[in-house]
Amino acid sequence: MARLFFAWVLILNRRYDDVGALLKAFPPDQRDSLPARLSFFLANAAMARPCEAKAELTPEIEDVARATDVFPRFLAEGFALAGARETAIKWLEVAIDRGFVNYPFLARHDPSFEALHDESAFKTLLEIARHRWERFEA
């Protein structure tokens, strides 16, 4: 899991060379784990390799992602980076429904979603997140 989060932070900071080195360092016996597959998915999506990114996903990963708030956000970010807007929005909706409501991060700080900022469905999800964020802060 630590490698997944490290890969994610590197991707957010567009340090793709460092991500590549990190991925090469994944132990072979860990390569098919959920964190490794998500790391490779995000990296390939960020580096404009959508086919390789999608190949990392399995039905099991999607099943696990539906039960959390973090994994669907990773999927949303990866699909957004890969240009699959509708799928990105679908997974972002799952993340928000599962409790990821960090509105400032989604609206201003996550570069993965830059291509979605003009999408009406994305704006709707941001409003839901904003409303829940504000209630959370109160």
- Tell me the backbone φ, ψ of residue 22, rounded to 5 degrees: -65, -45
pLDDT at 138: 66
Say whether pLDDT at 80 is over 70: yes
Please tell me the distance from the alpha carbon of residue 59 to that of residue 28, in angstroms, as a whole number. 21
9 alpha-carbon distance from chain centroid:
11
Question: How far apart, in whole angstroms, are the C-alpha atoms of residue 128 and residue 22?
Answer: 35
Q: Taking residues 108-137, report their average pLDDT.
A: 94
Mean pLDDT calculated for residue range 93-116: 95
Q: For residues 128, 79, 41 and 3, what is the CA-based torsion angle, rounded to 10 degrees? A: -30
125: three-class secondary structure by DSSP: helix
CA neighbor of 77 nearest in space, from 63, 87, 67, 68: 87
**What's the chain's average pLDDT?**
94
**Structure confidence by residue, pLDDT tens digits, 6-45:** 999 999 999 999 999 999 999 999 999 999 999 999 999 9
Q: Is the pLDDT of residue 55 over 90?
A: yes
